[in-house]
Amino acid sequence: MRLLVFALLSLLLLPCWWVGVWLYIVPVWRQRGKVSGTTYEPFTTRLLMHLIGTRDDPLIAQLAGHLPACSPSTLRWFILPQVWICKVSGFIPTPLRFPPPEHASLNCLVSARCEFLDRSLSKHLPHCKQLVILGAGWDTRAYQADASLDLFEVDAPATQAVKRRAIKDSGIPHDHVHFVPCDFESQRWLDALTDHGFNPELPTYVHWEGVTMYLERAAIESTLDQFSQLPQGSILALDYLAEKWLHHTTGGRLTKFMVNAFYGEPFRSGLPADTDSLLKPFGLRILRHQRLHAPGKPPYGGLLTLARRIEPDHKINMQSP
Ligand SMILES: C[S@@+](CC[C@H](N)C(=O)[O-])C[C@H]1O[C@@H](n2cnc3c(N)ncnc32)[C@H](O)[C@@H]1O
């Protein structure tokens, strides 16, 4: 019944949605190749989850309305009608449920990684002195974290410039956040951070969400290598797509084609099924590993919380997640 009401209301508001889609697409395409467009995908999902009431993210609603493809008009025509439909019908589409289903198919990738990474952050951040968000996009976590921590957002320069403007316009307090422009393909983020007041001697939590797939394998390995130079107690949490799924299945190839065609941001790499063999040379160990797959299907990706291998005089909290 709920699904029926949801479908009928969606049909009724189709003209609204049609206008809204263009309000979203045009600014994304105007900045294509300069500012990341894919970062609107997780942002929009988190925004909808917050507005529907499945996942709390108080600052995301404050930031929405200040981004080029999420202007007040986009909110009015595209986002709010979807929220209204969910609330009136009582039906929440699977990708917006939080926590996500146990076996999350590809359409639940954002909520699945969000839940894993939220849990990892709240468990390990209290034991760290600094928070680094690599490829921050429109993420609002840094603004919600303990302001006594040193917080660093690292992103491609043009995307970060848009974020800084939006954060300023939205009035979100951000004096405690250091913005560090860096291209992961050509620069070492650790060096860029150090130039912006980062202390490489302190245990650090590194959050790396929705980025590995856009990088060449060498840039992923470089990040693992740089992380391995941080002190014991540091944590790296990330999501990835499976190499085999991405390059050798119809679903993977089709997804890669569609993301590239729409946003002009190709999925370049997946991680191998034997994740250990990738991590071992960098002296890293897995604290938690969750493979992502639809029921009965091979994995299309995974979620990882990593730490350095323990040296004899150091203890780390081993409980999951
Ligand atoms: C899909 S978005 C994810 C954003 C954010 N982490 C989130 O989950 O909302 C990908 C992010 O990776 C960044 N990125 C991709 N390739 C990059 C590169 N070579 N150097 C720096 N940042 C990069 C983009 O600028 C963008 O912010």
76 and 122 together in one domain: no
57 lines ligand 1 (CB under 6 A): no
What is the phi-psi region of residue 67: left when phi exceeds 0, alpha when psi lies from -120 to 50, beta otherwise?
A: beta
- Ligand 1 atom closest to the Cα of residue 35 is 25
Nearest CA to ligand 1 atom 27: 137
218 and 110 together in one domain: yes
- Domain end, chosen from 35, 70, 96, is at 96
50 and 163 together in one domain: no
Assess if residue 278 is contained within a domain: yes
163 and 301 together in one domain: yes
pLDDT grade for 107, boundaries at 50, 70 and 90? very high
Ligand 1 centre to CA of 100 (Å) is 23
257 and 125 together in one domain: yes
**In the chain, how many domains are there?**
2
Ligand 1 centre to CA of 213 (Å) is 10
Return the pLDDT at 316. 46
Burial of 254 (0-12, 13-18, 19+ CB in 10 A): exposed
Tell me the residue range of the domain where 119 lies. Answer: 106-308
Are 238 and 224 a contacting pair, CB within 8 Å? no
Each residue's pLDDT tens digit, 157-210: 999 999 999 999 999 999 999 999 999 999 999 999 999 999 999 999 999 999
87 and 232 together in one domain: no
126 and 258 together in one domain: yes
pLDDT grade for 221, boundaries at 50, 70 and 90? very high
83 and 127 together in one domain: no
Each residue's pLDDT tens digit, 5-46: 999 999 999 999 899 999 999 999 999 999 999 999 999 999
Assess if residue 237 is contained within a domain: yes
Looking at the predicted structure, is the pLDDT value of residue 318 above 50? no
Assess if residue 125 is contained within a domain: yes
- Domain end, chosen from 41, 76, 96, is at 96
214 lines ligand 1 (CB under 6 A): yes
Ligand 1 mutation pick, 39, 40, 184, max ligand atoms within 8 A of CB: 39
84 and 180 together in one domain: no
Beta bridge partners of 285: 307
22 and 128 together in one domain: no
Are 248 and 270 a contacting pair, CB within 8 Å? no
Return the pLDDT at 145. 80
CATH number for 119: 3.40.50.150
Each residue's pLDDT tens digit, 138-161: 999 999 888 788 999 999 999 999
Nearest Cα neighbor of 273 from 254, 247, 291, 294 is 291
- Domain end, chosen from 68, 96, 124, is at 96
**Opening angle at CA 137, ends 135 and 141, nearest 5:** 90
202 and 271 together in one domain: yes
Extract the tokens encoding 134: 């690599």
Q: What is the spatial distance between Cα 240 and Cα 211, in angstroms, rounded to a whole number?
A: 8
What is the pLDDT averaged over residues 243-253? Answer: 96
Q: Out of 113-117, 142-146, 167-171, 276-280, which region has the weakest mean confidence (pLDDT)?
A: 142-146
135 and 264 together in one domain: yes
DSSP state of 71: -
Are 57 and 50 a contacting pair, CB within 8 Å? yes
Q: Which helix (H) or strand (E) holds 190?
A: helix 189-194
Nearest Cα neighbor of 166 from 72, 83, 53 is 72
Assess if residue 215 is contained within a domain: yes
Assess if residue 284 is contained within a domain: yes
Q: What is the spatial distance between Cα 11 and Cα 315, in angstroms, rounded to a whole number?
A: 57
What is the phi-psi region of residue 90: left when phi exceeds 0, alpha when psi lies from -120 to 50, beta otherwise?
A: left
Return the pLDDT at 247. 96
Place of tokens 């034997």: 274
- Ligand 1 atom closest to the Cα of residue 41 is 1
Ligand 1 centre to CA of 39 (Å) is 7
Assess if residue 240 is contained within a domain: yes
Return the pLDDT at 147. 77
